[in-house]
Amino acid sequence: MTFSSTEFNVVNEQQTRVLAKSLAENAERLIDNGLIIHLEGDLGAGKTTFSRYFIQALGHNGAVKSPTYTLVEPYALNKVNIYHFDLYRLADPEELEFMGIRDYFGKGNICLVEWPQRGGPLLASADLTISIKLTGDSRCFALSTSGQTGERLLEHLVT
Protein backbone atom coordinates (compact mmCIF):
# COMPACT_ATOMS: atom_id res chain seq x y z
CA MET A 1 0.00 0.00 0.00
CA THR A 2 1.33 3.41 -0.90
CA PHE A 3 0.79 6.44 1.31
CA SER A 4 1.35 10.05 0.54
CA SER A 5 0.41 13.37 1.97
CA THR A 6 0.61 17.00 1.11
CA GLU A 7 -0.53 20.29 2.64
CA PHE A 8 -2.03 23.47 1.31
CA ASN A 9 -2.45 26.77 3.08
CA VAL A 10 -5.76 28.43 2.25
CA VAL A 11 -6.56 32.02 3.22
CA ASN A 12 -9.93 32.61 1.58
CA GLU A 13 -12.88 30.82 -0.02
CA GLN A 14 -11.51 31.46 -3.49
CA GLN A 15 -8.48 29.31 -2.64
CA THR A 16 -10.74 26.57 -1.28
CA ARG A 17 -12.60 26.75 -4.59
CA VAL A 18 -9.41 26.36 -6.66
CA LEU A 19 -8.24 23.35 -4.61
CA ALA A 20 -11.70 21.74 -4.74
CA LYS A 21 -11.90 22.22 -8.50
CA SER A 22 -8.49 20.70 -9.11
CA LEU A 23 -9.31 17.66 -6.96
CA ALA A 24 -12.73 17.34 -8.63
CA GLU A 25 -11.12 17.24 -12.08
CA ASN A 26 -8.86 14.38 -10.97
CA ALA A 27 -11.74 12.63 -9.20
CA GLU A 28 -13.87 12.65 -12.34
CA ARG A 29 -11.27 10.47 -14.07
CA LEU A 30 -11.08 7.97 -11.21
CA ILE A 31 -14.66 7.00 -10.50
CA ASP A 32 -14.54 3.53 -12.05
CA ASN A 33 -14.50 1.84 -8.66
CA GLY A 34 -16.12 4.67 -6.76
CA LEU A 35 -14.27 7.19 -4.66
CA ILE A 36 -14.49 8.01 -0.95
CA ILE A 37 -13.23 11.27 0.47
CA HIS A 38 -13.30 11.89 4.22
CA LEU A 39 -13.37 15.46 5.49
CA GLU A 40 -12.08 16.00 9.01
CA GLY A 41 -11.83 19.18 11.06
CA ASP A 42 -13.62 21.04 13.85
CA LEU A 43 -17.01 22.73 13.56
CA GLY A 44 -16.60 25.60 11.12
CA ALA A 45 -13.32 24.31 9.67
CA GLY A 46 -14.65 24.58 6.12
CA LYS A 47 -15.69 21.03 5.21
CA THR A 48 -19.06 21.96 3.71
CA THR A 49 -17.53 24.92 1.89
CA PHE A 50 -14.98 22.60 0.27
CA SER A 51 -17.73 20.10 -0.59
CA ARG A 52 -19.86 22.84 -2.16
CA TYR A 53 -17.09 23.91 -4.56
CA PHE A 54 -16.19 20.28 -5.30
CA ILE A 55 -19.80 19.40 -6.21
CA GLN A 56 -20.23 22.59 -8.25
CA ALA A 57 -16.97 21.88 -10.11
CA LEU A 58 -18.53 18.63 -11.31
CA GLY A 59 -21.47 20.42 -12.85
CA HIS A 60 -24.00 21.12 -10.10
CA ASN A 61 -25.47 24.59 -10.57
CA GLY A 62 -27.68 25.03 -7.53
CA ALA A 63 -27.03 25.39 -3.84
CA VAL A 64 -25.23 22.80 -1.73
CA LYS A 65 -26.73 22.73 1.71
CA SER A 66 -25.18 21.09 4.70
CA PRO A 67 -26.48 17.53 5.17
CA THR A 68 -26.35 17.95 8.96
CA TYR A 69 -30.00 17.00 9.47
CA THR A 70 -30.59 14.74 6.48
CA LEU A 71 -27.27 12.86 6.97
CA VAL A 72 -26.86 12.62 3.19
CA GLU A 73 -27.63 14.80 0.17
CA PRO A 74 -27.50 13.18 -3.28
CA TYR A 75 -26.40 14.94 -6.48
CA ALA A 76 -27.03 13.14 -9.76
CA LEU A 77 -24.71 14.92 -12.17
CA ASN A 78 -23.77 14.35 -15.80
CA LYS A 79 -20.85 12.02 -15.32
CA VAL A 80 -21.06 11.13 -11.68
CA ASN A 81 -23.31 10.63 -8.66
CA ILE A 82 -22.13 12.43 -5.58
CA TYR A 83 -23.33 11.61 -2.08
CA HIS A 84 -22.49 14.27 0.48
CA PHE A 85 -22.68 12.95 4.06
CA ASP A 86 -22.48 14.73 7.39
CA LEU A 87 -22.36 12.18 10.21
CA TYR A 88 -22.14 14.73 13.04
CA ARG A 89 -25.61 13.92 14.28
CA LEU A 90 -25.42 10.19 13.79
CA ALA A 91 -26.66 8.80 17.10
CA ASP A 92 -25.38 5.29 16.54
CA PRO A 93 -23.09 3.97 13.80
CA GLU A 94 -25.68 1.20 13.25
CA GLU A 95 -27.92 3.81 11.60
CA LEU A 96 -25.56 3.53 8.64
CA GLU A 97 -26.62 -0.07 8.26
CA PHE A 98 -30.28 0.99 8.11
CA MET A 99 -29.41 3.58 5.50
CA GLY A 100 -27.91 0.85 3.33
CA ILE A 101 -24.56 2.61 3.47
CA ARG A 102 -22.75 0.01 1.34
CA ASP A 103 -24.92 0.81 -1.65
CA TYR A 104 -23.56 4.34 -1.74
CA PHE A 105 -19.98 3.19 -2.15
CA GLY A 106 -20.28 1.91 -5.69
CA LYS A 107 -18.99 2.31 -9.22
CA GLY A 108 -19.34 5.80 -10.61
CA ASN A 109 -20.09 7.33 -7.20
CA ILE A 110 -18.15 9.84 -5.20
CA CYS A 111 -18.88 9.98 -1.46
CA LEU A 112 -17.83 13.05 0.49
CA VAL A 113 -18.07 12.36 4.21
CA GLU A 114 -17.97 15.06 6.89
CA TRP A 115 -17.38 13.83 10.46
CA PRO A 116 -16.27 10.33 9.33
CA GLN A 117 -15.05 9.57 12.91
CA ARG A 118 -18.71 9.23 13.90
CA GLY A 119 -19.31 6.52 11.31
CA GLY A 120 -17.57 3.70 13.11
CA PRO A 121 -16.37 0.53 11.40
CA LEU A 122 -19.19 0.33 8.83
CA LEU A 123 -17.88 3.37 7.05
CA ALA A 124 -15.59 2.40 4.20
CA SER A 125 -12.04 3.64 4.47
CA ALA A 126 -11.12 6.69 2.46
CA ASP A 127 -9.15 6.96 -0.75
CA LEU A 128 -8.37 10.50 0.36
CA THR A 129 -8.64 12.13 3.78
CA ILE A 130 -8.73 15.90 3.92
CA SER A 131 -8.07 17.31 7.36
CA ILE A 132 -8.72 21.03 7.74
CA LYS A 133 -7.22 23.07 10.60
CA LEU A 134 -8.20 26.66 11.17
CA THR A 135 -5.53 28.87 12.74
CA GLY A 136 -6.37 32.55 12.87
CA ASP A 137 -7.77 33.39 9.45
CA SER A 138 -5.88 30.73 7.58
CA ARG A 139 -6.76 27.11 6.98
CA CYS A 140 -4.34 24.26 6.57
CA PHE A 141 -5.66 21.51 4.28
CA ALA A 142 -3.72 18.30 4.94
CA LEU A 143 -4.39 15.70 2.25
CA SER A 144 -3.43 12.09 2.87
CA THR A 145 -4.07 9.06 0.74
CA SER A 146 -3.69 5.35 0.96
CA GLY A 147 -3.84 3.18 -2.11
CA GLN A 148 -3.35 3.84 -5.78
CA THR A 149 -6.60 5.63 -6.46
CA GLY A 150 -5.94 8.13 -3.68
CA GLU A 151 -2.41 8.59 -4.96
CA ARG A 152 -3.66 9.50 -8.41
CA LEU A 153 -6.09 12.03 -6.91
CA LEU A 154 -3.11 14.08 -5.81
CA GLU A 155 -1.39 14.13 -9.20
CA HIS A 156 -0.88 17.50 -10.89
CA LEU A 157 -3.00 19.49 -8.44
CA VAL A 158 -3.20 23.12 -9.46
CA THR A 159 -3.64 25.54 -6.56
Ligand X SMILES: Nc1ncnc2c1ncn2[C@@H]1O[C@H](COP(=O)(O)OP(=O)(O)OP(=O)(O)O)[C@@H](O)[C@H]1O
Nearest distance, CB of residue 54 and ligand X, angstroms: 12
Judged by beta carbon distances under 5 to 8 A according to partner kind, the member of ligand X, Mg ion, none in contact with residue 45 is ligand X
Q: Answer whether 134's CB lies under 8 Å from 41's CB.
A: yes
Which residue, among 40, 17, 46, 25, has the nearest Cα to 110 in the 3D structure?
A: 25
Nearest distance, CB of residue 108 and ligand X, angstroms: 25
Cβ neighbours of 139 (radius 10 Å): 22
Nearest distance, CB of residue 43 and Mg ion, angstroms: 8
Using DSSP, state whether 7 is helix, strand or coil. Answer: strand
DSSP 122: G
Nearest distance, CB of residue 37 and ligand X, angstroms: 14
Could you list the residues that contact Mg ion (CB under 5 A)?
47-48, 66, 114
Could you list the residues that contact ligand X (CB under 6 A)?
10, 12-13, 16, 41, 43-49, 66, 86, 114, 139
Q: Which is nearer to ligand X, 64 or 101 (CB)?
A: 64
Judged by beta carbon distances under 5 to 8 A according to partner kind, the member of ligand X, Mg ion, none in contact with residue 17 is none
Q: Answer whether 59's CB lies under 8 Å from 75's CB.
A: no
Judged by beta carbon distances under 5 to 8 A according to partner kind, the member of ligand X, Mg ion, none in contact with residue 87 is none
How long a stretch of residues is the chain?
Answer: 159
Rg (CA), the chain: 14
Judged by beta carbon distances under 5 to 8 A according to partner kind, the member of ligand X, Mg ion, none in contact with residue 16 is ligand X
Per DSSP (E only), the strands in 92-156 are 109-114, 128-135, 138-146
Q: Which is nearer to ligand X, 48 or 56 (CB)?
A: 48
